[in-house]
Structure 1
Amino acid sequence: MRRLDATGVRRHAGGLADLLADTVRGGASIGFLAPLGRAEALAWWGERAADVAAGRLAVWTVHDGGRVLGTVSLAFAAKPNSRHRAELVKLMVHREARGRGLGRRLLATAETAAVAAGVTLLHLDTETGSPAERLYRSAGWTPAGTVPDYAASPEGVLRPTTIYYKRLTAPTPTG
């Protein structure tokens, strides 16, 4: 597991694009319609590098050799009254690597990094009824509500989305 700087995002953009395309092909509603071309996925990740360089986004990846198997990001709030929170975005695990706890490890990494950055509240949205929902619930995330017809699935069908949040606390020093 490694946190990527802007250069790392650019360097691994091909692997991240392949992971994004695999996730969309697998039916996950993560903001893209199928079929997602590699050029579009590369461009999207290329645009994220500027956000990483500016400190607005943190990106972690898990690799198997040169292949990106998973990623998760934290989008930090820019407004002065919101700097205590961040959005968990684009938690993706390659379909061939699922079922090994990789999603849980990525989620825990992002949560730990959020605490270290002084974030006390995380939020996210995910397709209602998706496998991701089970992960978030089992990891202690609280559903805040469901919005009907929030986003289209990769096939273009409008689906409900559930908004989740998780309060974070800094670890208590032992001693």
Structure 2
Amino acid sequence: MTDSVTIRRVDANEAAACVEALADVLIDCVEGGASVSFMLPISRTTALAFWRNVAEGVARGERALLIAEDPGGDIVGTVQLITAQPENQPHRADVAKMLVHRKARRRGVAHALMSELDRIARQEKKSVLVLDTVTGGDAERLYLRAGWQRVGSVPNYALMPDGTFCGTTFFCKQL
């Protein structure tokens, strides 16, 4: 399963160098129907701008960026830990943009990314993690299996890439 995928945290320079490959993953996920803040058709310009902004956030120390690489060195997945929080929440972090390219799904990549994310969160002294995902989607099952607690859902919270409404479920995890 994940023996063929390497999960690692990238620094600011690597994040900037990965922008093109990360854009490929984002575009694939949106084109595959993932509700991850982007609408169809997603342009390469939009995807590149998003990942450049993420790389700048890594450089500012506001987030950790993890990537999953296949044996050929291609990026097939990613997730972020947003560590920059308000002054009264230094112990908390948000999990964002858990993305796995369709060609790498059902191989344990997402689970491996989330396990490494937990390790990095502990290293960063974060004890409460939060995230949201499409209600009823595959990711809900992943998060439940990974020890996350469902805290509630909001109907019609966001849009799917095709413009239809979708509910959003919120999760937390105590480390």
SS at match of 1:91: strand
Q: What are the Cα deviations for residues 90-127 of structure 1, in whole angstroms up to 9, with x where unaligned? A: 11111010111010000000011101111000000000
Matches of 2:73 and 2:145 in 1, distance apart? 31
Aligned residues: 168
Aligned to 1:44: 50
Aligned to 2:13: 7
* Partner of residue 126, structure 1: 133
Letter in 2 for 1:85: R
Residues 131-173 of structure 1: CA distance to partner in whole angstroms, max 9, x if unpaired?
Answer: 00110011111111001111100001111000000000xxxxx
Aligned equivalent of 2:95, options 73, 88, 105: 88
- Superposition misfits of 4+ residues, deviation over 3 angstroms: none
- In 2, distance between residues paired with 1:150 and 1:10? 31
% identical equivalent positions: 43
TM-score relative to the length of structure 2: 0.93
Equivalent residue number for residue 156 of structure 1: 163
* Correspondence 1:106 to 2:117: no
Q: For residue 3 of structure 2, what is the aligned residue in structure 1?
A: none
**Unpaired stretches in structure 1, ≥5 consecutive residues:** 169-175
Q: Structure 2: which 5+ residue stretches go unaligned?
A: 1-6
- Residue 54 of structure 1 deviates from its aligned partner by 1.0
Q: Of 126, 133, 146, which residue of structure 2 is paired with 1:139?
A: 146
Deviation at 1:50?
A: 1.4
CA contact (8 A) 2:152 2:169 kept: yes
SS of corresponding position for 1:40? helix
SS class of match (1:46): helix
Superposed displacement of residue 35, structure 1: 1.2
C-alpha distance in structure 2 between counterparts of 1:161 and 1:46, whole Å: 26
TM-score norm. by structure 1 comes to: 0.93
* Aligned-residue offset at 1:3: 1.0
Shift of 1:130: 0.6
Distance 1:10 1:140 in 2: 32
Query: What is the distance in 1 between the residues matched to 2:75 and 2:124?
Result: 25
Q: Does 1:67 align with 2:74?
A: yes
Q: Identify which range, 35-44 or 124-133, moves more after superposition.
A: 35-44
1:29-71 deviations in Å (ceiling 9; x for gaps): 0100011111110111001111101111100111122421010
- Counterpart CA distance in 1 for 2:156 and 2:102 is 26
